[in-house]
A and B are shown apart, each in its own frame.
Chain A
Amino acid sequence: MIRDITIGQYYPANSIVHKLDPRVKLFATLLYIIALFVYKGLAGFILITGFLILAVKMSKVPLKFILKGLKAIVVLLVITASFNLLLTPGEVTFFKWGVFQVSDTGIRTAVMMMIRLIYLIIGTSLMTLTTTPNQLTDGLEKSLSPLNRINVPVHAIAMMMSIALRFIPILIEETDKIMKAQMARGADFDHGNIIQKAKAMVPILVPLFVSAFRRADDLAMAMEARCYNGGTGRTKMKPLKYTASDRVAYLVIIGFLAAVILLRIFVPYFG
């Protein structure tokens, strides 16, 4: 049940995408998101779809596994789509009731928004699925290191992020365990109205918070015991190094964004 959450989880496989430098993947994800919000017209859409399918295929992550991540945002998708659909005025109005109306522009923006959100989740989860949390933060730290000069604590931020990511599966497992323990004591999470359901969460949340604080305490202690004192002078066991395929990937992704922009300027038709 709760194990189904795939956002922020790593899927081990031996693929080109997995082996890319995390900085490349971060940069690529950023450009991909820009492309998603820049594109206009059918041609751009086809290009982005093709790019996404290619990336998923190369990553060797089963599509089923990626799509599972979408389950978590179904509610968000429905809300966004219905707001766009019902509240956008347009040239042709099909249906009107009070402030609500269904228009051609409304339908178009609703569909576009859905596609953007779905693609956004698929693209970003592809990055987290193919990059271990450690690589991810290493990449982030290195990419943001210029900010150190203006006194941004980049290392501390990266460390916090890696710890947060690392703890997601642990906390999920813990929640699963506590849920089972309370179910064994007759707790019922599925029935009753919304207030009863919220109340039923207390026996899970209290132990979960207690254990999260305990873990945080233990971790801080363990880090101090190993003389952790922040980023200055700290060396890496596996320093990041670009390879030939990383350079190719940079070119491909920059070319991709350029193509999306060009298509927007020259063929912004349909959709």
Chain B
Amino acid sequence: MSIIVDKVSYCYSEDSAYKVQALKEVSLTIEDGEFIGIIGHTGSGKSTLIQHLNGLLKATSGHIYYNGQDIYDEDYNLKDLRNKVGMVFQYPEHQLFETTNFEDVCFGPKNQGLDKKEIELRAFEALRNVHFPEELFYQPPFDLSGGQKRRVAIAGVLAMHPEVLILDEPTAGLDPAGRDEILGLLAQMKRELGITIILVSHSMEDVAEYVDRLFVMNGGELMYEGAPKDVFRHYKELEEVGLAAPQVTYLMHELKEKGLNVDLDATTVDEAKQTILAALGR
């Protein structure tokens, strides 16, 4: 079970004055059960890339294989693919439309053609999984706060029981507490439900702590890939393309320059604490 992207290129509004080459021969592989981060500056092609993964955009050239099958094959069922690869868009709260939160979460499973009991079971379970307060289940979604709406929208995708969950900037516009909550939730879902999670973000801090592997996009091309530690070693190059390594990385490099023998690969506050204490011999 894996996603293989093979030399995918994509062009927006091909034959018009607004032609934009959004992706240039991007190739990457995502294994089952991984927590992947895709990072890039605004306009680097990261949102375009993920829309290919569930067939919403069709590559101008190149192929995408899901579990060994080419999704551009004539007889490939794209609707089926979208059931397996769930996608939470940027500001997903804007897609809510039903009269109650519960009904809205039911929309996905309903489209999958499940029977009523199963639909409601899944909706219930999904809303519980995102820690949505039960007393708001049957309230209209339009009265909720931004963070709560976002939970409903994520639950709406979760209720379809996807094997892969893609999230485009799920923390945009949330305060730090809301951000940590959503990201913690994702890590928990990956552990408990065993689904592959692909997280798109432009914030290194967001991903450093959670993801297993990182893809850095720049100008429609794949710039780096690897574990966060390995990617952050290129912190100077990252800065040149308008991204930044986590603040901890900078601190570690400065400490090292000042003569303290710390581990440069520390990216989270916790790791930093450990290595500084070790370096000080305590």
What residues of chain A have their CB less than 8 Å away from a CB belonging to chain B? 3, 11-13, 62, 64-65, 177-178, 180-188, 202-203, 205-207, 210-211
Contacts and interface: CB of A to CB of B under 8 A. Distances in A.
Q: Which 8 A-B pairs have the closest CB atoms?
A: A186-B111, A206-B97, A184-B87, A181-B95, A185-B108, A181-B89, A203-B97, A180-B56
29 contacts: A11-B17, A177-B94, A178-B94, A180-B51, A181-B92, A181-B94, A181-B95, A182-B95, A183-B56, A184-B82, A184-B86, A184-B87, A185-B82, A185-B95, A185-B107, A185-B108, A185-B111, A185-B156, A186-B79, A186-B160, A187-B107, A188-B79, A202-B97, A203-B95, A203-B97, A203-B107, A207-B95, A210-B94, A211-B94
Contacts of A182: 95, 107
B13 interface: yes
Given A13-B17, A203-B97, A186 B142 contact: no
Contacts, number: 66
B54 interface: yes
A211 B97 CA distance: 11
A177 B89 contact: yes
Contact of B89 (A180, A186, A206): A180
A216 B197 CA distance: 36
A211 B94 CA distance: 7
Interface string B138-161: 000010000000000000110010
Nearest to B92: A181
B29 interface: no
A3 B13 contact: yes
B96 interface: yes
B156 to A, nearest CB: 6
Which of B54, B87, B94, B112 has the most CB atoms of chain A within a 10 A radius of its CB?
A: B94
B94 A12 contact: no
B83 A186 contact: yes
Interface residues of B, number: 26
A47 to B, nearest CB: 30
A65 B92 CA distance: 33
B98 to A, nearest CB: 8
B111 A178 contact: no
Contact of A64 (B15, B79, B89, B96): B15
A184 B97 contact: no
A62 B139 CA distance: 51
Nearest to A6: B16
A182 B89 CA distance: 10
Contacts of A181: 87, 89, 92, 94-95
A4 to B, nearest CB: 10
A178 to B, nearest CB: 6
A182 B82 CA distance: 11
A184 B56 contact: yes
B189 to A, nearest CB: 18
Contacts of A206: 97
B94 A207 contact: yes
Given A185-B108, A186-B160, 14 more contacts: A12-B17, A65-B17, A177-B94, A180-B51, A180-B56, A184-B54, A185-B82, A185-B111, A185-B156, A185-B160, A186-B111, A187-B111, A207-B97, A210-B94
Contacts of B79: 186, 188
Contacts of B51: 180
A185 B157 CA distance: 6
A210 B17 contact: no
